[in-house]
Amino acid sequence: MRIESECFLLPKAGNRSDEYEDASHSSTHVHKETTICRFAIADGASESSYAELWANLLASGYCFGRFRGMQIHRSVSPLSKAWQKKTNGKSLPWYAQEKLSNGAFSTLAGITFRFAMDAESAAFDAIAVGDSCIFHVRGDTMIASFPLSTADDFQRRPVLISSNAANNVQLKAFVHKWSGKAEAGDVFWLMTDALACWLLTRYKEDRSVIRLIHKLAGERDFNHLVHEERRRPHREGYFYLRNDDVTFIRLKLVKGK
């Protein structure tokens, strides 16, 4: 078995690419006869300082195996130090310095697959903090949505991981964990919040949106979809896809080496 992966991303409409504050990462490690593949996305909170740096540290940290189960509040400590080292010494106005001292904030959603090369199934486990999501799709059916399952769930302000350890005291209670088995041919989609909310909204109305995403042939198709859905009006007066940074990792489990 192997995993085919693609990553697509776009900043907010009207923003430059260097203003994009999401992050994504992946890694593959082979241990004897077992392959371990990790994928992660993170969504830095725009209102915090150096959020894109913090999101990148979290996503890469997960893929380098630095997270241990539910103990994220402990696992992020070395990453917090790395963030502080990179941001220390910045010449900033007093109000920006005060904001910096509060730290950066970000979501995180990561999934790890373990399988043998000749296997037809793979064990997986995932963690999430905040409202970045992972979807398990088989054929034209969404089997699971983690950690949120309806568009209404996005109305609540999510708890985020902070680069300031003092803000993570209660974090353990908000770490979501998921595990299971996947078959060859299964698909997993990792999406930051705006895109995840869009998918759940569209899927509730018309399940053919799954086929629409399956058919995306590359970056050009993805960009066109995002631009169109940002302008598609919903009957309740908003646009289907909120104008926010979007990140999408598309994974497919495939038979063979």
pLDDT digits (tens, 9 = 90+) for 130-177: 999 999 999 999 999 999 999 999 999 999 999 998 899 888 899 999
Of 172, 176, 161, 173, the residue nearest 126 (C-alpha): 176
Separation in Å, CA 138 to CA 31, 43, 179, 215: 28, 26, 16, 14
pLDDT of residue 70: 57
The band of 97, judged by pLDDT with boundaries at 50, 70 and 90, is: low
The band of 89, judged by pLDDT with boundaries at 50, 70 and 90, is: low
The token pair at 164 is 């300031």
How confident is the model over 236-255, as a mean pLDDT?
Answer: 95
Round to whole Å and give the CA distance between 106 and 44. Answer: 4
Assigned CATH class of 2-254: alpha beta
How confident is the model over 1-22, as a mean pLDDT?
Answer: 95
3-state secondary structure (DSSP) of residue 131: coil
The band of 95, judged by pLDDT with boundaries at 50, 70 and 90, is: low
Round to whole Å and give the CA distance between 121 and 182. Answer: 5
Identify which has the larger pLDDT, 23 or 73: 23
- Per-residue pLDDT of 185-231, as tens digits, reads 999 999 999 999 999 999 999 999 999 999 999 999 999 999 999 99
The token pair at 213 is 């995403």
Give the helix ranges, DSSP H, for the chain.
Answer: 51-63, 72-75, 77-87, 94-102, 193-205, 209-214, 219-231
Q: Which residues contact 23 (CB under 8 A, 6 or more apart)?
A: 41, 42, 43, 44, 52, 55, 56, 58, 59, 60, 106, 247
Q: What does the mean pLDDT of the chain come to?
A: 92
Give the angle subtended at the CA of 194 by the CAs of 134 and 242, to the nearest 5°. 160
Q: Give the count of alpha carbons within 13 A of 8, CB side only.
A: 20
